Amino acid sequence: MNPRLRAALIAAALATITFQLVTFYVNGWPGPPAPLFVFSTTVVLAAYLGTGIIAWQRHPADQIGLLFTLTGYAWFLPQLLSLHYAVPFTIAGGTAFVYQGCLGHLGLAWPYGKLRGRADRVVVAANYAWNIASPIAANLFWNPRATGCSAACPANLLLIDDSPRLYQDVGQITTVLGFPVTVAVIALIVVHWRRSRGYARRAMNALIWVSIPVAGYITILNIAGLVDLSQYNVLIYEAGPLLLAAPPVAYLVAALRAWRARGAVSSALVSMEPGPHPAKLRDALARALGDPTLQLAARTAGAAAFTDTDGATVDLASLPAGRMVTPLDTPGEAVLIHDAELKHEPELIRVAAAAASLALEHARLQAEIQVQLDQVRASRARIVEAGDAERRRLERDLHDGAQQRLVTLSLAIGIARDRAAGADPDLEALLESASKEARAAIAELRELARGIHPAVLTQTGLEGAIQALVERSPVTTQVRAVPPGRFPAQVEATAYFVVSEALANVAKHAQARAAVVTVREQSGRLEVEVSDDGVGGAQAGSGSGLAGLADRVASVGGSLTVHSPPGGGTRLQAVIPCP
Amino acid sequence: MPVTGPGTGPGTNPGTGPADDAPMRVVIAEDSVLLAEGLKRVLADAGFEVAGLAADAGALIRLTGQIRPRVVLADIRMPPTQTTEGLEAALEIRRRWPGTAVLVMSQHVETQHVVELLAGDPRGVGYVLKERVADIAQFTDAVRRVAAGESVIDPEIIARLVARPRAGSPLESLTDREKEVLALMAEGRSNQAIAQQLWMSPKTVETHVGSIFTKLDLLPDAGDHRRVLAVLAFLRQ
C-alpha cells in the first residue's frame, strides 16, 4: 500500500471521528445526544474506518479495504444531522440508509471485496438504489418542525410538501418494498456460503455469523418504521448500532488468525517427527492452512504425471476451477495444490511451501541415508560371510591335504616299524619316535583346523559344536539349553563364536569356578548367554576380544551386551536375529 | 554285578568266527587312494580279507549289499559333501544289515559323532581317530573288537572327557584306579579286557565297576553293551 495513501486514510479517519464527536457536543441537534448513542456510533465509525485501513494494507489488490472504508463514511453521513444547517442537515436526511447499501455490498463481496456474478451485481445495485431512494422520497414530505423545534429548526432543502401524512405513507411503502431486497441479499449470502469450499469456507462461516446481527438489526429498524416501537428507542437507536460492528470485528479476527497461521504452519511441521510421511505432512499442512482440500503431489524424475499422497494421478494442466498450484523448492518436482482463495494469503502459502520443502528434503535425505546404511550393513554381513567361507575352505584344505597326508605317512611308518620289529631294534626305535612326531603333528594340526573353523558346526549344528566347546573348557561348564535344530550358517557361526570367545575369556580372565551356557530360540531370534561366577570387571572396550565379538554380532543385525560388575561375575548376552 | 564281554578279546585269530573258518571279510571306504591301499595291506597282513574298496558313501552301501562283509571300515568324511557321509552310511548299513560291524575313522575329536553313531545299538560299532593306523596292532585290534560285537571308542576322546574339570561332580569322588576303569568302560572294553589291560583279576574289576556305578548313581544295566552309553552320557553332562 502506498504510504501516502495510508497516511491520508489515517488522517481522514481521525479527522472524521473527531469531527463527529465535536458536532455531537458542540452543535448537537435537537440537543446533545445520549452518551450511549455517541459511544455506539463512534465505535462503529472507528471500527469500519480502522478495519478499512488494515484490510487495504493487507490486501492492496483486493477491494475489501475500500468497501470497509466506504461503509464507514456512509455511516458517518447521517450523523451530519447534528449540524443544524440546511445543507448538511439535508444531506444527512437523504443519505440516512446509504450505509445499509454498503453493508449489502460488503456481505456479497465477502471476503475479498469482489462480487461473484450478475445476480450479485443486480442485487447489490437494487440494494443501493432502494437505500438511497427511499429516504430521499420520504424527506420530500418531511418538515423538521414536526419534531417540535421552532426557530432553531434547520431547513429541509428537499421538502416539497409539508405533509406528515404523505411522509408516513411514503415511509411505510418504501419500507415494505425494501424487504424483498434485504431477503435477496441474505439469500445470496447463504448461496455463497453453501458453494464455498476449502480455505474460503472458514471466511464464509464467519460471514454467516456476522450476517445474523447485521440483518437482524436492519430488519428491526425497518419494522420500527412500520410499527410503533418507541418504548425500545434506547435499545434500538442507542445500543443497536453496536451490532453493526460485527463485520469489522470478524474481519480482524480472521486477519489475526491468518497472521497466527503462519506461525502455526511452521510449528505444526516442526513438531512432526523427522522425515514425515508425505500423507502426514499433507494433513499437517491442510490443518495449518485451514484448507482441507489441500493436495501434496510429486513427480519422480522422468515421470509424466504428478501423484498425490492418496496415490491418485493429478494433471496440473486441467485442474478444476478454484484450484491453484504452488511449486515447492525441492530437488524432485513437488507441488502444493490448494484452494485458489489462498492466493489472498501469499505470505501464508510461502511459509507453508518453505516448511513443506524442508520436510520433504529431510525425508528424502533420511531415506537416502537409510539406503546407504542398509548397503553398508549388507556389505559388512557379506564381508563376515566371506571370511567364514574362507575359514571353512582353509579347514577343509587342512583336513583333506596335510592331515590326510600325515595319516598316510604314519601308516607307512607303522608298517615299516612292524617290518623292523625284532630285526633292527635301532631302526624300530627311530621309526617309533618318527611315528610319535607324526601323531603329534596330526593332533596339533587338528586343533589348528578346529580353531579356524569347527567342522562339527557345519556337520551337526550348534548343539554338538557347543558341546565340544564345553568339553574343551578348562572351567567347569554346564550347558543349560541349546535348541536342537539347524539355523542359517551365519547365525550358527555367530552364536558359536560368541560362546567360544566367551568361554576363552572365562578361562583367561574370570578366575571362575563354573560357567553356564544357555542358547534359546525366541520369536525369531537366538539368545545366547554365557555367565560365570568369576571376578567380573570385563569391558567391551576397544582392543578387547569383546569389541570384535560385538562387531561380529552386529554384522548379522544382532546385539551384544556385557554385564560384568567387579566381583559379581560376568554375563555376556548376544541376541542374534534368526529369520 | 555279572558283567561279561561278548567279544573274543585281543589277540584272537580274526578268522575264527562261530560259523566259518574263512578269513573275515572287510570293506574299506576311504577316498584317499594311498591310504586305502595302505589300510588294505595292513588288514591283509593281519589276516583279514579286504573284499572291496569304496571311494564314497554310495559305493560303500552298494558294495556292502553285494559283499555282505563282516566289518565295514569307513572314513567319516568323503565325497561329495566332505562332511559326515561316512557316519550316515554307517548308520544306514547298521539299519539295513544289523549284523555288520562298522568302524568309523575320523580326524575329529567330537563326542557328538560318537553319540550319534552309538545311539541305536552300540554293539559292533566303533569310532576311532584316523591316526590310530600308526599303531598297527592297536588298529587291527579295534577292527577285531567291533567284528566281535564290542563297542570301540577312541581313547583320546574318552581321555578328554574324563579330564574335564567338574567342580562338585560325583566323578571327583572316584579313586584314580576307578577313573582308569571308568575310562576303559567308556572306550567300550569288557570287564575281561579291562582286567587284562590293568593287570587285575576279573573279580577286582567287577568290584570297581560296582563301586563306580554306585558313586555316579548310574543304574546297573543288565545288558552291559548299554553301559558304554550310560557312561558316555554321564561324561558328556
**Interface membership of A506 toward B (CB under 8 Å):** no
pLDDT at residue A355 above 60?
yes
Q: Give the pLDDT band of residue A295 (cuts 50, 70, 90).
A: confident
Measured distance CA(B154)–CA(B128) in Å, rounded: 5
- Could you tell me the three cell numbers for B226? 548299554
A244-264 CB burial, b ≥16 within 10 A, e <16: bbbbbebbeebbeebeebbeb
**Cell of residue A104, nine digits:** 449489502
- Selecting from B42, B110, B237 the residue whose C-beta is nearest the C-beta of A411 gives B42
Task: Determine, for residues B38 and A415 on separate chains, whether the beta-carbon distance falls below 8 Å.
Answer: yes
Q: How high is the pLDDT of residue B4?
A: 39
* Residue A513 at interface with chain B, using a CB cutoff of 8 Å: yes
Rounded Cα distance, A361 and A370, in Å? 14
Residue type for position A16: T
Q: What is the pLDDT of residues A440-495, one digit of tens each?
A: 999 999 999 988 999 889 888 999 899 999 988 999 999 998 998 899 999 999 99
The total number of residues shown for chain A amounts to: 579
Does residue B16 belong to the interface with chain A, where contact is any CB pair within 8 Å? no
For A375, residues 6+ apart whose C-beta sits below 8 A from its C-beta are none
Q: For position B93, what pLDDT does the model report?
A: 94
Give residue A280's identity as a one-letter amino acid code.
K
The grid coordinates of residue A224 equal 420500527
pLDDT tier for residue B18 given thresholds of 50, 70 and 90: very low
What predicted TM-score, i.e. pTM, was given to this entire model?
A: 0.62
pLDDT tens-place string over residues B106-136? 988 888 888 888 888 888 999 999 999 989 9
Closest CB to B131 among A410, A455, A471: A410
Higher local confidence (pLDDT), B143 or B236: B143
Largest CA distance in chain A: 170
**3-state SS string over A21-60?**
HHHHHHCCCCCCCCHHHHHHHHHHHHHHHHHHHHHHHHCC
Residue A93, classed as helix, strand or coil, is helix
**Cis peptide preceding A30, ω within 30 of 0:** yes
Q: Cα(A372)–Cα(A514) distance, rounded to whole angstroms?
A: 44
Given a contact cutoff of 8 angstroms between Cβ atoms, the answer to whether B167 and B237 are in contact is: no
Tell me whether B84 touches chain A (CB under 8 Å).
Answer: yes
Instruction: Determine the residue of chain A that is closest to B33 in CA distance.
Output: A408
What is the pLDDT averaged over residues A425-438?
Answer: 92
Of A406, A450, A467, the CB nearest to B112: A467
Q: For residue A335, what is the enclosing H or E element?
A: strand A333-339
CB contact under 8 A, B32 and A472: no
pLDDT on residue A272: 67
pLDDT at B1 > cutoff 60: no
Note whether A84 and A152 are within 8 A (CB): yes
Residues of B in contact with A406 (CB under 8 A): 131
Q: Does residue A303 register a pLDDT over 80?
A: no
Computed over every residue of chain B, the mean pLDDT equals: 84
CA atoms within 13 A on the CB side of A251: 27
Alpha helices in chain B (DSSP H): 33-45, 57-67, 85-96, 111-118, 136-147, 155-163, 176-186, 191-198, 202-215, 227-236
Q: Which long-range contacts (CB under 8 A, 24 or more apart) does B160-166 make?
A: B160/A471, B160/A472, B160/B109, B161/A471, B161/B111, B161/B186, B161/B232, B161/B235, B161/B236, B162/B186, B162/B235, B164/A471, B164/A473, B164/A476, B164/B235, B165/A473, B165/A474, B165/A475, B165/A476, B166/A476
Q: Cell 428491526 sits at which residue?
A: A220
Judge whether residue B12 has pLDDT over 50: no
pLDDT at A275: 60
Mean pLDDT, rounded, for A58-64: 84
pLDDT tens-digit readout, A27-38: 666 677 888 888
Q: What is the mean pLDDT of chain A?
A: 86
Residue A74: all three cell numbers together? 456512509
Provide the grid cell at A34: 445520549
Rounded to whole angstroms, how far apart are CA atoms A536 and A526?
24
Contact A138, A170 (CB under 8 A): yes
Confidence of residue B233 (pLDDT cuts 50, 70, 90): confident
Question: What is the percentage of chain A residues whose pLDDT exceeds 70?
Answer: 95
Residue A220 has pLDDT above 70, yes or no: yes
Using the Cα atoms of residue B139, residue B140, residue B141 and residue B145 in order, give the sign of their dihedral: positive
SS3 A575: strand
Q: How far apart are the first and last CA of chain B?
A: 25
Chain A residue with the nearest C-alpha to that of B32: A404
Over residues A557-578, mean pLDDT: 91
Q: A20 pLDDT exceeds 80?
A: yes
| Closest residue to A456, CB basis, from B108, B167, B236 | B108
Cβ distance B83 to A459 less than 8 Å, yes or no, reads yes
Measured between beta carbons, which residues in chain B are less than 8 angstroms from residue A410? 131, 133-134
- A to B CB pairs, distance under 8 Å: 108
CB A313 within 8 A of CB A307: yes
b/e map A272-303, b = 16+ CB within 10 Å: beebbebeebbbbbbebbbbeebbbbbbeeee
Bridge partners, B129 (sequence order) = B106
Q: Are strands A333-339 and B101-106 parallel, antiparallel or unpaired?
A: unpaired
Query: Distance between CA A416 and CA B51 in Å, rounded?
Result: 24
For the segment A177-200, the average pLDDT, to the nearest whole number, is 87
Chain A positions touching B41 (Cβ under 8 A) are 415
Question: What is the total residue count of chain B?
Answer: 237
Grid cell in block for residue B206: 567287577
Q: Which of A295-304, B33-42, B152-161 has the lowest mean pLDDT?
A: A295-304
Largest separation between any pair of C-alpha atoms in chain B: 53
Answer whether A296's CB lies under 8 Å from A281's CB: yes
Q: Band the pLDDT of A281: cuts 50, 70, 90.
A: confident
Per-residue model confidence (pLDDT) at position A338: 87
Bridge partners, residue A339, by sequence: A323
Residues of A in contact with B232 (CB under 8 A): none
Chain B contact present for A471, CB below 8 A: yes
How confident is the model at residue B116, as a pLDDT? 87
Cell of B46: 593281519
For an interface test with B, the pick among A392, A394, A397, A407 (most B C-beta atoms closer than 10 Å) comes out as A407
| Global ipTM | 0.85
Residues of chain A in contact with residue B161, where contact means CB-CB under 8 angstroms, are 471
pLDDT at B2: 39
pLDDT at A150: 62
